[in-house]
Chains A and B, each alone.
Chain A
Amino acid sequence: MARKPEKETKVVETTGHEWDGITELDNPMPRWWLWTFYLTIIWGIGYTIAYPAWPLLNGATPGLLGYSSRAEVAKDIAAVDAANAPLNDKIVSLDLATIAGDSEVGNYAISAGGAVFRTFCIQCHGSGAAGSAGYPNLRDDDWLWGGDIETIYTTISHGIRADEDEDTRLSEMPAFGDDYLSKVEIAQAAQFVLSLTGRATDATLVEGGAVVFEDNCSACHGSDGLGDKFVGAPNLADAIWLYGGDLETVTETITNSRGGVMPAWSAAGRLNEAQLRQVAVYVHELGGGE
């Protein structure tokens, strides 16, 4: 197609701008374009009336349609809750031990419990539930207060040394450095504790430590150091150490005592019954459940 720009430039008005002899044509906009443009303006005004738009001091104009993205989310959550309600009812009504055996309820409980765990528990126990110093690893087979599912459920519900729950798990190890034991006795006891796992470095201290341990520690930890789940006293003869099993840490523990705290998750409406049970099933299925 032959182009004839010259002929056209003569008849179309220009904007009056000129750069080195190049002028800008002032072609009218196509009508369809113009109408589309007007339509978008009308649409835009209508939109700000129908939907939340104009910012005010506290929030924004609500819009005639009453739309709110927050309300939409709330609706979605409510719909999911409603859909899961039968399963949650089942979880609450079923015996804890039988939940995991039921494939539908069990799988749901593990998934839902995982979600609860990732929201409320990982801050201390870690996303992999492996814990850290002072925060127990929930995947191993060592449990301070017991690892069967009912016990796990009780621990989660009422917490450990949680002020807000009168049924909380409560025990207190004395700080033996405060007037109870001398530095020597503490050193003896520490060596004796290490000897339970065959790691003592000073035989004479162990000898004295046996007496110190029997007099001061065996009431809770047992004469052979195997611990007592009834009072949450850890097993001192196994390979797992909550705060560390080296001489320095053990000495520190005897001197100043330890007393970790876990919130009571049933208190103050933190978790509902279904959630408590879900997370109990989840923790029990992590690999260490008894």
Chain B
Amino acid sequence: MSTETPEEAPKLYAAREPVFPKRVKGKFRQLKWWLMIFTLGVYYITPWIRWNRGPDMPDQAVLIDMAGRRFYMFWIEIWPYEFYFVAGLLIMAGLGLFLFTSALGRVWCGYACPQTVWVDLFVQVERWIEGDRNARIRLLNAKWDARKWRLRLAKWTAWLLIAVSTGGAWVFYFADAPTLIVELFTGQAAFIAYAFIASLTATTFIFGGFMQEQICTYMCPWPRIQAAMMDEDTMTVSYRDWRGEPRAKLKDSMADPSLGDCIDCNACVAACPVGIDIREGQQLECITCALCIDACDDMMIKVGRPTGLIAYLTANDEPLERSGKPPRNMWKHLIRFRTIMYATLWGAVGVGLLVALFVRAEIEVSVAPIRNPNYIVMSDGTIRNDYDIRILNKHGEERQFRVTAETDEHNSNFVVELQGAEGVIVTAPADTTIIQRVYLFAELKNHAAYRERTEVHIWIEDLTSGDTAHVETVFNGKTP
């Protein structure tokens, strides 16, 4: 090796700068606490809500039954072939994100993203155990003595408990929660349940405790895409530098009225969970959690200056405010072509899904003709064709269906027989797909017996509700 290093080579990685968000008080912090309670509550409680669907049916309100291939959500039951409902919900979620991003910037990132919510929770736990910002900075630099070990282990244990319960709650969506929790603790649950808990515990523990804002800055693609949805009317967390600058210490700025309102107390920096200084302008790390607004407002009130030095602003208002004019009404920013368009699309998909949900058939039937052989000659010369019909009974009770066959062709009446059943009535148990072998006979007087192809409609009629459904198929006759 004879390589010389003429100058220090640039590093491939920048080591993480530790972030110690300081506790703040204010309306946004309050809102975030409530949102945290709400979102975590929804996540943890939902699998435990019960919903009566009748006997032999799961009584869990939200259940993704992989083995049974059903998705239950309160009164809605999705079968695999109706998966477009889930696709539709995902499209709605996407459009909803577009709508909120164009109106309020990275509001999803700041308030509702699981990464943000769990990091917020983890940081709060850290504050309870290790103390607020300054105590945590001192602890970081302290030697690894007994106290540091004790605090660190306590924090990691608490984080790990949160992580386990996070991973644990996930699997309850996929099985009957009360049964599964007993199985989990008695070691009887399926391996996949433990595997999911283990991997989600690991990701929660590592992402929430150690990677924190790095997930948002380096790993998540969503912040990069968001820029495409934001424009000059998007409300986002900004610093009114025209009011704050030139910044100076309180003592100096009290003496000199030409100085700005910012007293350079660094409260906004201390509060920031991603470790940036909002006064440097819009930055890609900023998740618009608005905690700097709370921190600054709190300080401004203490020093008797107007709040709003850091606030939700739009780029369009900046020149207005700089020239001393009042900003435009907030609603004019929120309601504009782009947001109306997203809201309309969102609503259209939603209405479409609702319509699809209400008009979907309660019974479904499909047919698979058996073409090996194409037809069967019976001993009296009658021609028989065999079909497998598949009947979906979506009701929570057993239903009986009458099977009939008809054709538009003249002089072609079929005799219908069902395998293993007397007559033409087939019984489908609750919430089941059945496959029934159907025999159609074309007697010699039926032209279909010699015609190569005859279009046939096989009808099924729900004897309870009177609903009917039919399928088209073909009868093959015997041709020379």
Contact = CB atoms under 8 A, between A and B. Distances in A.
Contacts of A11: 2-4
Interface in A98-145: 100, 126-128, 130, 137, 139-142
Interface string B419-453: 11000000000000000010100000000000000
Interface in A1-53: 1, 7-8, 11-13, 28
A142 B379 contact: yes
B2 to A, nearest CB: 5
B6 A238 contact: no
A239 interface: yes
Contacts of A8: 3
A287 interface: yes
A255 interface: no
A8 B3 CA distance: 7
A240 interface: yes
Contacts of A148: none
Interface in B378-423: 378-381, 384, 386, 419-420
Given A128-B372, A130-B373, A285 B419 contact: yes
A253 interface: no
A140 B2 contact: no
Contacts of B76: none
A142 B376 CA distance: 11
A235 interface: yes
Interface in B1-38: 1-4, 6, 10
Contacts, number: 57
Contacts of A240: 377-379
Given A100-B420, A128-B370, A287-B437, A239 B377 contact: yes
Nearest to B379: A238
Contacts of A13: 2
A130 B376 contact: yes
Nearest to B2: A11
Contacts of A140: 376-379, 384
A7 B6 CA distance: 9
Of A137, A240, A287, most buried by chain B (CB within 10 Å of CB) is: A287
Contacts of B379: 140-142, 235, 238-240
A11 B378 CA distance: 92
A54 B1 CA distance: 40
Contacts of B376: 130, 137, 139-140, 287-288
Contact of B380 (A1, A12, A126, A239): A239
Q: Which of A13, A126, A141 has the most CB of B within 10 A?
A: A141
A35 B178 CA distance: 50
Interface string B236-274: 000000000000000000000000000000000000000
Contact of A28 (B1, B6, B10, B437): B1
B385 to A, nearest CB: 10
Contacts of A128: 370, 372-373
Contacts of A238: 379-381
Contacts of A235: 379
10 contacts: A12-B2, A127-B372, A130-B376, A139-B384, A142-B379, A239-B381, A240-B379, A285-B420, A287-B384, A288-B376
**List of 5 A-B pairs having minimum Cβ-Cβ separation, nearest first:** A128-B372, A130-B373, A239-B381, A238-B379, A142-B379
Interface of B: 1-4, 6, 10, 370, 372-373, 376-381, 384, 386, 419-420, 437, 439
